[in-house]
């Protein structure tokens, strides 16, 4: 149900005339949390210029600017966003030169950690940390992911996650499941049983492809990361990411072999196990839509519908379910994903106020309504999601007990974007998990 308009003209006057024309959704209308917007007007930042730099371009930049416009309208501030596809290089150059923007939006926390250790970022407060713990699903996970040592070796929260991506998904065609009488598995035990049942029925359970040009192998890293979170506690996952737990440890080898259960059985994969390493990941979900089905399930992140056949209607022609956890291991509902981190690179009253705004439900809901935005913010109204598909993904984030960032993105480039990728191709091609893990660890050792 749509919210009613604010009753008083005073409430409507919260939108300054200078910015009212820039607001995408009229204040007081729709399912947005306008009471949270009203609170913004108590802060007068008239004349304050806040520079923000990130990697968003095109439609993403438009959506961010649409969300920032409400902060401008309520406070009188001027938010100036610029984006670049060379963000990672440019933000370091600017910070070192003393010309950094007030706020930077990092595509992943690895660079945040590096810049924090060099004294190039301003830490957030204890109050910010408490807020994240209380207002984000699996809040401690989000705190942990943005807490790093400063130049003195003291840990601080250095960023606020704004916009998340979801990887722990399995895609399927509902009609195919209905025709075969299959049900959505609720546990990893059930998922393995379903995999075996489909094969016994003469079907092929999975489409898997690791091909991606120079980045071939990366889809398998997502499988292994999901399996690490489903077989080990989150602190073990963290130790693996930092190599405190060696890559060739039994825990990691076991996670690789869990991936192998699905990927190394000829009966379980379209084209047979030998096709996994050579099938392009963009082509791999095509089997879902063949008649008869070339496969029944595909494990991939929230972006994969971009490679579904033209005209595919999500929720009808294709849908997804949460990649489930083992019931017997009692590790809760872990979620693998990614996200962008807002950090202060040039401290000011406006910078602090804008990062505070990113905690406001409105900052999330405006982009949620625009599409292509997920959040773990428990105060954001899920009714504002643009589609039922996005809402369903958002619910997975909200139901997570643990959230962890894509491990390969946090590892040194030579590992996460190198040896890990090639090792997974070798494993999918028949090499044993221990040998693959030994080789990856040997590469890591060579970096020390």
Q: Which pLDDT does position 21 carry in this prediction?
A: 47
| Domains 9-166+336-405 and 169-335+406-447 fall in the same CATH topology | yes
> Which ranges of the chain have pLDDT less than 70?
1-21
401-378-392 Cα angle (round to 5): 75
pLDDT for res 15? 38
State residue 16's pLDDT score.
Answer: 36
Q: Retrieve residue 359's tokens.
A: 């905690």
Q: Which three-class secondary structure state does DSSP give residue 359?
A: coil
- How do the domains of the chain map onto residue ranges? 9-166+336-405, 169-335+406-447
pTM reported for the whole predicted model = 0.93
pLDDT value at residue 151: 98
- Tokens of residue 323, six digits: 């990649």
**324 within 8 A of 187, measured Cβ to Cβ:** yes
33 and 361 in contact (C-beta within 8 Å)?
Answer: yes
**DSSP β-ladder status, 334-344 and 402-405:** parallel
For position 448, what pLDDT does the model report? 83
Q: Concatenated DSSP letters for 57-99?
A: -HHHHHHHHHHHHHHHHHH--EEEEEE-TTHHHHHHHHHHTT-
Nearest-angstrom CA–CA distance, 400 and 379 = 15
Look up tokens 């590892």; give the residue: 411
Residue 150 tokens, joined: 């400063």
Give me the pLDDT at residue 3, please: 33
pLDDT digits (tens, 9 = 90+) for 376-429: 999 999 999 999 999 999 999 999 999 999 999 999 999 999 999 999 999 999
CATH of 9-166+336-405, one of 3.40.190.10, 3.40.1410.10, 3.40.50.1370, 3.20.20.70: 3.40.190.10
Give the right CATH number for 169-335+406-447 from 3.40.50.620, 1.10.1130.10, 3.40.190.10, 1.20.1630.10: 3.40.190.10
Element (DSSP H or E) covering residue 319: strand 319-322
């Amino acid at each position: 149900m749509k919210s009613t308009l604010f009753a008083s003209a005073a409430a409507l006057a919260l939108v300054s005339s200078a910015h009212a024309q820039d607001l995408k959704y009229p204040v007081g209308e729709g399912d947005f949390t306008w009471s949270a917007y009203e609170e913004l007007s108590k802060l007068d930042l008239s004349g304050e210029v806040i520079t923000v730099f990130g990697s968003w371009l095109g439609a993403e930049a438009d959506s961010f600017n649409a969300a920032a416009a409400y902060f401008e309208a309520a406070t009188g501030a001027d938010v100036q966003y610029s984006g670049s596809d060379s963000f990672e290089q440019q933000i370091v150059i600017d910070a070192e030169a003393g010309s950094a923007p007030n706020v930077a939006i990092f595509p992943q926390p690895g660079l945040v950690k590096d810049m924090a250790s060099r004294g190039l970022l301003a830490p957030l407060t204890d109050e910010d940390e408490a807020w994240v713990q209380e207002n984000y699903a699996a809040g401690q996970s989000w705190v942990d992911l943005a807490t790093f040592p400063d130049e003195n070796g003291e840990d601080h929260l250095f960023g606020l996650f704004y916009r998340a991506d979801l990887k722990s998904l399995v895609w399927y065609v509902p009609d195919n499941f209905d025709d075969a009488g299959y049900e959505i598995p609720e546990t990893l035990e059930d998922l393995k049983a379903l995999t075996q049942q489909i094969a016994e029925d003469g079907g092929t359970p999975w489409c898997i492809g690791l091909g991606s040009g120079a980045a071939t192998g990366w889809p398998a890293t997502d499988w292994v990361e999901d399996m690490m979170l489903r077989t080990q506690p989150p602190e073990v996952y963290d130790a693996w990411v930092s190599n405190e737990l060696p890559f060739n440890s039994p825990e990691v080898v076991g996670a690789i072999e869990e991936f192998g259960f699905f990927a190394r059985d000829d009966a379980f994969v379209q084209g047979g196990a030998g096709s996994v390493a050579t099938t392009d990941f963009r082509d791999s979900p095509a089997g879902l839509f063949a008649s008869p089905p070339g496969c029944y399930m595909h494990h991939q992140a929230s972006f994969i519908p971009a490679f579904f056949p033209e005209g595919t209607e999500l929720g009808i022609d294709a849908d997804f379910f949460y990649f489930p956890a083992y019931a017997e291991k009692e590790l809760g509902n872990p979620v693998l994903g990614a996200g962008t981190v807002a950090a202060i690179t040039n401290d000011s009253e406006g910078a602090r106020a804008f990062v505070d705004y990113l905690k406001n439900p409105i900052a999330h809901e405006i982009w949620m309504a625009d599409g292509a935005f997920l959040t773990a913010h428990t105060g954001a109204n899920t009714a504002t999601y643009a589609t039922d598909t996005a809402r369903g993904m958002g619910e997975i984030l909200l139901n997570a007990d643990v959230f962890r960032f894509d491990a390969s993105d946090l590892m040194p480039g030579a590992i996460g974007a190198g040896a890990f990728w090639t090792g997974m191709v070798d494993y999918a091609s028949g090499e044993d998990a221990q040998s693959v893990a030994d080789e990856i660890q040997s590469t890591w050792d060579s970096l020390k």
